[in-house]
Structure 1
Amino acid sequence: MAAGLVAVLGVFLLGDAAVRGSWDVVLRAVGPVAVLVWGLWVLTYRPCIRLDDHAVTVVNPLRRTVVPWHAVADVRLRWQIVVETVGGRTVQCWGGPSLPRPKPARRGERAVLRQPDEMVVLLDRWSERRDDATGGDVVRGWDRPAVLVGAGALALLAVSLLSLWLGA
């Protein structure tokens, strides 16, 4: 929520400077605003977990990992969802639910920790599809959309710094 407000505020202020004809302000501020909005987008909005019939896809900041169902050895919930592969590697899922607070217990009873609904869906899909060997191998790589948008934001930052240096 706060990241969205920062993005809207940055775009609004840049638009206000453009409408007023302060192009020097727009040129100097567009780079830092773009890098800030990109960083917030990559860290707070972009991470996610996608499930399909053949694999679980984990999108973390700047990285993307596709784990076929047959290559999943274990799925557990720590501070976030952790997928362990048959090869022994672990994938931390930034975009999943976090560990919930335990449900208050009555005197003498143990506190009950409820599974998040997302975790239940992931475990159900894994139990249905773990014998399906059509997915291939675990694929790790860069998250291309995030990297390309980041390169664009860094290019705008370079333009802003250049205009600041030339204008001084």
Structure 2
Amino acid sequence: MTTPEPQSSSPQPSGTVSKDRAYRSPAGISGGVLVLALALWLGIDALVTGEGDTRWKALAALVFLVPLVAAYTVRPAVFANEDRMRVRNPFRVIVLPWAQVESFRSAYSNEVFDEGGAKYQLWSIPVSLRGRKKAARQEDRRAAGGAGRRRGSVLGGVGQFGSRGGAGASGGEVDGPVRAEADKVMDELRELWEARKDAAGSR
């Protein structure tokens, strides 16, 4: 009569475990794959056609470069669910329950701090200054366009989709400022942390 209790309780944890959200850098992975393909092409060519020490040097270069490039480009990832975040950097994996996360910081790199003050860089979410400048320009254009539409609605001009007045002018409005993709990911991680840091399962 004791066997049904473990059987009935075993499905419950699987139902409560939330699915991980994975965050990777598409540009980093693409660049890494291209570098790996080029290195393998040149290395294999040297192994096949090389003479003397050339083959050994090519083999040594492949053994050194392939794992290094893969570690810095393909391997990095951040996984997050309702209980914790897991940071997979080139040479280490850090698991941080949300209750142990102290803060996030986005400057020239994206970082997470734990309660003890330790800092961990998020390699898979690189900061793009070019992306931030592009987002700032889009926000400026949107703000200028919004001001122009407001003036047009006051003057009874033609609004968006050819409608007159303010009815069509507000049809294309987007809530919130325009953000770079990496900053959007950090905002999502912060929101998840704020929502789950006091939960019992996040400790």
**Into which bin does the TM-score normalised by the smaller protein fall?**
0.5 to 0.7
2-structure distance, mates of 1:129, 1:44? 30
Q: 1:55: Cα distance to partner?
A: 1.0
Secondary structure class of the residue paired with 2:189: helix
Answer yes or no: is 1:88 the counterpart of 2:84: no
Alignment of 1:94-113 (within 5 A): 94-99=123-128, 100-102=131-133, 103-104=136-137, 105=140
Which letter maps to 1:114? R
Answer yes or no: is 1:118 the counterpart of 2:189: no
2:36 aligned residue: 7
Identical counterparts, % of pairs: 30
1:155 aligned residue: none
Kindly indicate whether the alpha-carbon contact (under 8 Å) linking 2:89 and 2:123 is maintained by their aligned counterparts in 1: yes
1-structure distance, mates of 2:103, 2:194? 11
Alpha-carbon displacement from aligned partner over 1:27-57 (angstroms, at most 9, x marks no partner): 4422211211221112222222111222111
2-structure distance, mates of 1:93, 1:44? 12
Which letter maps to 1:71? Q
Which letter maps to 2:187? V
1-structure distance, mates of 2:68, 2:47? 23
Q: TM-score, normalised by structure 2?
A: 0.53
1-structure distance, mates of 2:35, 2:178? 34
Runs of 5+ consecutive residues of structure 2 not aligned to the other structure: 1-29, 145-176
2-structure distance, mates of 1:27, 1:77? 44
Higher relative contact order (CA 8 A, sep 6+): 1
1-structure distance, mates of 2:75, 2:51? 32
Runs of 5+ consecutive residues of structure 1 not aligned to the other structure: 137-168
- More helix by percentage: 2
- More strand by percentage: 1
CA RMSD of aligned residues (A): 3.0
Count of residues in correspondence between the two structures: 133
Q: TM-score, normalised by structure 1?
A: 0.62
The one of 19, 31, 35 equivalent to 2:60 is 31
Rg bigger for which structure?
Answer: 2
Cα 1:77–1:22 change in 2 (3 A) is same
Which letter maps to 1:8? A
The one of 83, 90, 95 equivalent to 1:54 is 83
